[in-house]
Amino acid sequence: MRLTGRAILITTVVLLILLVAAAAAVAAKPSKVIIITMDQMKPGYVNAYDMTNMKWLQKKGVHFKNAYVGQLASTTVVSHNSIVSGQLPKHQGWSDEVIRDVDDVLGYGAGAIITIGDLTYDQYTQIIEYYGYPKLGDYMKWKYPDATVACFGEKYYQVASTAASSADWYMTFGGKKNVADLPNADDFPWTGKYRTADPAGGVPDYILNDDRFKISSGNADDKYGTNVDWPAWTYPEDGRHVPGPYDEHLSGDDWVVDGAIKLIENDPWSAMHLNFSGIDKIGHMYGGGPVDTLANFEKYNPAGVWLDMVHMAFIAKNADKQVGRLIAALKKSGDWNKTLFVVLADHGVEAATKAWYGITDQPDMGYDAWFYDPNEICANTAYGRPGSNNEAILGPLNADGNLAYSYQSVMMEAWLIKQSVAKKLHTARVMSTMDGVLATYIRFGDRYQLVWNLPKKKMTASEYTWWKANAQKLVDTMAWKGAADVIGLLKDGVSYGGAYGDHGGATKGSQRVPMVFWAKGIKPKVRAEKFRLVDVVPTALRTMGIPQLAPMDGKAYKLAF
């Protein structure tokens, strides 16, 4: 059928409208990205603590209601790098708080046992460059070379590992110093301890020279009673993670967002990763969520502020408040409608409500409980040396004198001196006899083989369902030449770690996390897919229209606009 002139005109106009709309859609793709990782946050906190900004994001954005860590280990120093790289632990160069450096990347000697949380920024960079994968910051610098990529957070290893090899600079707390030891101590109107942004991170002068970022934490009050309050005293607060009483020098997540706002106000930027650690610290000390209640801690008053800031009801609400402050700053600067805004957690938490086999009878012993080094083999830390009171509980793992190192949380891991199949099987059998162990595995190259598991009747229905559906896939994500030779998964509510609330393993409590994406024009939707941490970067790149140039383990989800 021949078209009339009018029909041709109408058709042409429609095509032009469609082309213009398509061009507008392309132009509307976000050109900036902010990822907020609320360390240890559980999905249920949003409603439990009336986190209004998170509720708004979940309603107006794309909310993955079944998101989970999707890998082992479910620890901060592993998960944060996975979030910004899209690499599973087996491909990123470190798979937990401990590795065997088979290739001598760090220079301690081939096969040296290394604790990852004690590495420097330069050492994280060495590992990443050795394994040769790009991170989100690399893509943003390629696309927007003149815009800043920065990382912020309270904990050094949390921020340094995230920023390593791909960020322009990072801001984290430096070492604690007594104010009296500073050259200009009289300039500071407070007493106590002093912190500042770490100058080694390349922090710009508008932050480094701003007194707001010089943090005071009182000598007597920086622990806010957590050094005498059971069970918090095994891993007490140290003045970094909660806001504190000094209105002009607030610490914790407030300090992190204040730094991010300074960047927004002073420099062009393209990407930020913000690490909120308040929830994590409080969850470790008191068990998190439904465990940290007025019924369990009678002196805690949810309506209060001062000492109550070390409990979850306050700290979760405060983290949500910081999200709102950041959104307000982005709107004020004109950046909000250009920004892909992502909020998630790096792992959940499992409270030791059924059994806790850490060092529970002495204060401030958390780190010594997590690590065990019976033969003094570890190359870069003194944690877990003989005499740390681990022998009584973990001694059976070294009954044959073959344990090089172990790391325990809500999962147990053992690195062996002699690594024959027979030796691995022996340790797996010993591990299976320890209280609360649900299943044991030994490593063969890039996979783990199940050796033993509790019978179904000795697991709860929820434990069995979750373990059957997820355990093998999870343990295999950490299987590489530097990973543990033997793994023991634990039952719900059981921990061998250094704090009452812990994570690291395959339990549902450790694995389930919140996950929400927002950008201007996004079609709100609650999605049921089991979104994983490694899916964040490929999904962000797809949403921003930036081509993925290197292999990633994650899936690029399409977010509808």
Q: What gap in Å lies between CA 238 and CA 154, rounded to an integer?
A: 11
For the segment 315-347, what is each residue's pLDDT rounded down to a tens digit? 999 999 999 999 999 999 999 999 999 999 999
Residue 541 · residue 559 · CB < 8 Å: no
Same domain, 369 and 480: yes
Residue type present at position 398: N
pLDDT of residue 100: 98
Residue 61 lies in a domain: yes
Are 462 and 325 in a shared domain?
no
Sequence-separated (6 or more) residues with CB below 8 Å from residue 485: 414, 415, 416, 419, 424, 427, 442, 443
What local confidence, expressed as pLDDT, does residue 188 receive? 55
C-alpha 480/C-alpha 348 separation (Å) is: 24
pLDDT, one tens digit per residue, over 224-258 is 889 988 999 999 998 889 998 778 788 999 999 99
- The reply to whether 258 and 391 lie within a common domain is no
Residues 478 and 436 in one domain: yes
pLDDT digits (tens, 9 = 90+) for 277-289: 999 999 999 999 9
C-alpha distances in Å from residue 56, one per residue of 59, 390, 517: 5, 46, 11
On the question of pLDDT at 181 being above 60, the answer is yes
Say which CATH number the domain at 249 has: 3.40.720.10
Does residue 561 lie in a domain region? no
- CA 234, CA 162: separation in Å to the nearest integer? 27
Residue 185: inside a domain: yes
CB 259 within 8 A of CB 299: no
Q: Is residue 218 part of a domain?
A: yes
Q: 244 with 198, same domain?
A: yes
Residues 324, 438: one domain?
A: no
Mean pLDDT of all residues belonging to the chain = 90
What digits encode the pLDDT tens for the residues 371-418? 999 999 999 998 887 666 678 899 999 999 999 999 999 999 999 999
End-to-end CA separation in angstroms for the chain = 36
What is d(CA 535, CA 115) in angstroms, rounded to the nearest whole number? 26
In this structure, the answer to whether residues 452 and 345 fall within a common structural domain is no
Tell me what percent of the residues of the chain surpass a pLDDT of 70.
Answer: 89
Same structural domain, 37 and 139: yes
Element (H, E) at 177: strand 177-178
Q: Does residue 229 lie within any of the structural domains?
A: yes
Instruction: With respect to residue 3, please indicate whether it lies within any of the assigned structural domains.
Output: no
pTM of the model: 0.93
User: Are 206 and 275 in the same domain?
Assistant: yes
* Structural domain containing residue 486: 353-499
Q: Distance between CA 466 and CA 138 in Å, rounded?
A: 36
- Check residue 455 and give its pLDDT: 97
Could you tell me if 135 and 537 are in contact, meaning their C-beta atoms sit under 8 angstroms apart? yes
Which token pair is 202?
């390349």
Grouping H, G, I as helix, E, B as strand and the rest as coil, residue 307 is helix
Number of domains in the chain: 2
Q: Does residue 369 sit in helix, strand or coil?
A: helix
DSSP SS3 for 79: helix
Residues 217 and 261 occupy one common structural domain: yes
Structure-model confidence comparison of residues 196 and 145, the more confident one: 145
| Token pair for 357 | 């086999």
Residue 62 domain-assigned (yes or no): yes
- Alpha helices per DSSP H over 211-352: 252-266, 278-286, 312-333
C-alpha span between 424 and 487 (Å, rounded):
10
229 and 367 assigned to the same domain: no
